[in-house]
């Protein structure tokens, strides 16, 4: 009789945990994009005309780029190209690379690679919101653990064992 009861409990836990994990996986995927900054290395782009921003990865840049190099190996970190936050073609915030000078070495039309740290789309700027977002995942895990315990106490041999005096 106890084997049948434990079998019911195990089946119930399996189905319940499976449903909970499906819901938690969608939450977990968004927690990563909403709480972590990213670093890109050797991101390739072609500079646009003077004053025209070219959209790069991310919504906002953190700090300053560590390398901005054209195809011939010249560094453009301090010359004629600025990397800033602005609005992209779709009206959303974006990291933009803009040629700022008509000088011969302005970089217009040249291919570049850049290294920088950025904030992805969907990132939560408020540290409190990031903390609450992570707490949702922790509380979901705790709810699964409580569900498993309650099922084994209610339907399994653990409940029978606890009822004995």
State the total domains in the chain.
2
Mark whether 107 and 146 lie in a shared domain. Answer: no
Mark whether 144 and 105 lie in a shared domain. Answer: no
Mark whether 79 and 110 lie in a shared domain. Answer: yes
Mark whether 115 and 48 lie in a shared domain. Answer: yes
Got the DSSP string for 114-152?
EEEEEEPTT---SHHHHHHHHHHHHHHHHHHHHHHHHHH
Mark whether 104 and 54 lie in a shared domain. Answer: yes
**pLDDT tens digits, residue range 59-97?**
888 888 877 777 777 777 666 778 888 888 888 888 988
Task: State the residue range of the domain holding 151.
Answer: 2-34+126-163
Distance, in Å, from the CA atom of 112 to the CA atom of 76, rounded to the nearest integer, reads: 9
Mark whether 20 and 41 lie in a shared domain. Answer: no
Listed residue (102, 125, 118) closest to 56, CA to CA: 118
Q: In this structure, are residues 43 and 125 in contact, taking their beta carbons and an 8 Å threshold?
A: no
Which residues sit opposite 56 in a β-bridge? 95
**pLDDT tens digits, residue range 10-39?**
888 888 888 888 888 877 777 777 778 888
């Amino acid at each position: 009789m106890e084997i049948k009861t434990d079998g019911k409990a195990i089946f119930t836990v399996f189905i319940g945990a499976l449903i909970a994990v499906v819901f938690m996986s969608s939450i977990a995927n968004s927690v990563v994009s909403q709480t972590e900054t990213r670093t890109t290395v050797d991101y390739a782009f072609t500079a646009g005309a003077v004053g025209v921003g070219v959209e790069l990865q991310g919504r906002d840049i953190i700090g300053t780029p560590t390398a901005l190099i054209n195809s011939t190996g010249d560094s453009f970190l301090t010359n004629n190209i600025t990397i800033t936050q602005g609005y992209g073609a779709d009206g959303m915030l974006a990291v933009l690379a803009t040629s700022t000078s008509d000088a011969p070495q302005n970089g217009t039309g040249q291919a570049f690679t850049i290294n920088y740290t950025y904030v992805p789309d969907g990132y939560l700027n408020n540290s409190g919101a990031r903390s609450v977002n992570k707490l949702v995942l922790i509380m979901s895990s705790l709810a699964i653990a409580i569900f498993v315990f309650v099922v084994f106490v209610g339907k399994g041999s653990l409940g029978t064992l606890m009822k004995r005096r």
